[in-house]
Structure 1
Amino acid sequence: MTAVTAPLLQVRSVAKAFGGNRVLEDVSFQVEPGEIVGLLGPNGSGKSTLLNLVTGFERIDQGEVLFEGGRIDRLPAHRIVDRALGRTFQLPSMPTKMSVIEVAMAAATARHGFFDTLLGTRAAREAEERARVEADALLKEFLLTPVRDLPSSALSGGQKKLLGIVCALMGKPRLLMLDEPTAGVHPNLRNDIVQALQRLNRQGMTIVIVEHDMHFIREVCTRCIVLDRGHIVASCRPDELSSNERVLQAYLGGGRAATESEKVNA
């Protein structure tokens, strides 16, 4: 018999409101190991809120979130990171007085113990050296070695996004969630991000991406989940987006038939 693999992430009947604004309503989906899933939807559809709920930066009002079969929706964000679920941010903010390599190494602190680091124990020194080796390898993989010793705040927007991915990977995640990794990124760096994510996925990384760039979604994702006004309206392959009526209505508001596929195909 073929072994059945349990979903890596399960979101069950999740709802969230801010005051009288119902942002998410009865949202349910799951992510299987090895997938690259695009989380799409027009502005205000609830994508970033959903990402924040899954990663512990907001508390759900109802429903539950399970990672590797265990509930995580009651955990603070740093405990969710400890469970091997990493994320990046749409507008990464970098420390002004830390170099790129220092930021990457700091992202591994939780793994080798904050207090040990402060006390300078032998174990902490050994862990620091391992973290330096890991950080250097990731900086090389994401083409950041030339800026390794520069202040992280001096990086371009695209380089900061790459460093954000490096920091998330320093936590050894089994699921990586990315918030608009190509927004405002130079086309050359965008291609680097595409190749890096494809490489990570080939190595076994499961990835969820909040993104507006349809070309990027088609290049990278194996499946798309589409939100509209707080509800999931589609779960399909990227090549099915332009023929899915509910997706077209979500992006065009039920608008013109003559141009209904333009935005989805843009």
Structure 2
Amino acid sequence: MTNTTPLLRVQSLAKAFGGNKVLQNVSFDIQPGEIVGLLGPNGSGKSTLLNIITGFESADRGVIAYRGNAIQTLPAHRIVEAGIARTFQLPAMPEKMSVMEVAMAASTTHHGFWETLLGTGGVRAAERQAHAKATALLHELLLAHVRDLPASALSGGQKKLLGIVCALMGAPKMVFLDEPTAGVHPNLRNDIVSALKRLNQQGMTLVIVEHDMHFIREVCSRCIVLDRGHIVASCCPDELSSNERVLQAYLGGGAENDAVLEKQA
């Protein structure tokens, strides 16, 4: 019998800031192994939705279930422990830590409670484990050659890659990426595309907040589109330009060709 339980289920999610209803009755499922694009014009509620799912904000109403377990009341660190990680649109990097040190600091095993209880040997074992994992991820995300540089000295694209490394240090099953290619040099953009495809082939479920429609078509198998706090579409990327509700969300109606959607989105 096939297991039809989604990896993530969002039901009737609502959030308002004062009189501004940012999310209204938002419901959707994410299946294991999907790469889903989360789209919508500015102010549609994407960032708020991402923050609520990952524990950085609380919902006014609704249920978020991960692997069948409700997580909407958990703090961010518990959601990471459950298996959901995220990146940030503008990752801030410490000035006095190297790339390797930042990656190791993101490990959930590096300075844990049990390692402290076990004493120095346990701590050293955890550090070795974190170092080995960070080394492998930096190599996979093409950052091995800058591992000893200050993290703050990286280019914008390299910082985004390091943000992905940090998200992966906790061995999540699902990662939310906030505009991973925004402002990134085309060469590094291609590296990010390749890295995300490899991660998905290894079993990682990805949800990507992004405005680059070429990137969405290249990477995503499905798109969820928000407009003014409502889901207006859940479809394949190739269907976006012919979906009237999507066109109205981005352009206010009247546009008929894909090139206009790409320009505005």
TM range (shorter): over 0.9
8 Å contact from structure 2 (residues 212, 262) kept in 1: no
SS of residue in 2 equivalent to 1:185: coil
Alignment of 1:119-134 (within 5 A): 121-134=120-133
8 Å contact from structure 2 (residues 233, 246) kept in 1: yes
CA deviation digits over 1:89-114, x for unaligned, max 9? Answer: 00101111110000101111456505
Alignment of 1:199-218 (within 5 A): 199-218=198-217
SS of residue in 1 equivalent to 2:191: helix
Shift of 1:262: 2.8
8 Å contact from structure 2 (residues 110, 130) kept in 1: no
Q: Which residue of 2 aligns with 1:264?
A: 261
- The alignment status of 1:174 with 2:173, answered yes or no, reads yes
Q: Which residue of 2 aligns with 1:100?
A: 99
Q: CA RMSD in A?
A: 1.6
Q: Which residue of 1 aligns with 2:74?
A: 75
8 Å contact from structure 2 (residues 156, 184) kept in 1: yes
Work out the CA distance in 1 between the residues paired with 2:145 and 2:119. 29
8 Å contact from structure 1 (residues 45, 229) kept in 2: yes
Taking every aligned residue pair, what percent have the same amino acid on both sides?
71
Kindly tell me: are residues 110 and 264 of structure 1, through their superposed partners in 2, closer, same or farther at Cα, counting changes over 3 Å? farther
Kindly tell me: are residues 204 and 111 of structure 1, through their superposed partners in 2, closer, same or farther at Cα, counting changes over 3 Å? farther
8 Å contact from structure 1 (residues 94, 153) kept in 2: yes
Work out the CA distance in 1 between the residues paired with 2:59 and 2:109. 25
Shift of 1:199: 0.5
Q: Which residue of 1 aligns with 2:28?
A: 29
Q: Which residue of 2 aligns with 1:147?
A: 146
* Matched letter for residue 211 of structure 1: E
Shift of 1:118: 9.9
Work out the CA distance in 2 between the residues paired with 1:98 and 1:89. 19
Gaps of 5+ in 1: none
With structure 2 as the length reference, what TM-score do the two structures score?
0.95
Work out the CA distance in 2 between the residues paired with 1:184 and 1:118. 44
Shift of 1:263: 3.1
Shift of 1:5: 3.3
Shift of 1:165: 0.2
SS of residue in 1 equivalent to 2:195: helix
Shift of 1:228: 0.4
Work out the CA distance in 2 between the residues paired with 1:144 and 1:184. 18
8 Å contact from structure 1 (residues 24, 46) kept in 2: yes
8 Å contact from structure 1 (residues 117, 125) kept in 2: no
* Matched letter for residue 51 of structure 2: N
